[in-house]
Amino acid sequence: MAVLGEIIIEKSDQIKLRSGSVLSDIIIEKEYLQLRTYAMGDELRERGSKQNIQFSKEKAIEFKKILERFISNS
């Protein structure tokens, strides 16, 4: 398991969106939270996780603050 390290906020990049959406799942344990995403169209999660990220509680708090800034600017 690789736990998220430093979070760098990029202010100049543009997000390149693709049409469609992907399925994700979240696993919450005592010390970590894991977010996994799957390939577009893999609604049954049969082809394995495409990307995953593990948050320690410290990084989850940091990411929560970033999300709150994002949500408040909408």
Instruction: Check if the beta carbon of residue 66 is closer than 8 Å to that of residue 55.
Output: no
pLDDT at 22: 80
Residue 29 lies in a domain: yes
Q: Note the pTM of the prediction, 2 decimals.
A: 0.74
Give the integer Cα–Cα distance in Å for 35 and 37: 7
Give residue 15's pLDDT: 81
Answer whether 53's CB lies under 8 Å from 72's CB: no
Q: What's residue 65's pLDDT?
A: 94
Could you give the number of structural domains in the chain?
1
Determine, yes or no, domain membership for 44: yes
pLDDT tens digits along 28-49: 999 999 998 887 777 766 777 6
Residue 10 within any structural domain of the chain: no
- Residue 15 in domain: no
First and final C-alpha spacing in the chain = 34
pLDDT of residue 57: 96
In a domain, 43, yes or no: yes
Q: Is residue 11 part of a domain?
A: no
Domain interval for residue 55: 24-72
Which residues of the chain fall short of a pLDDT of 70? 1, 44-45, 49, 74
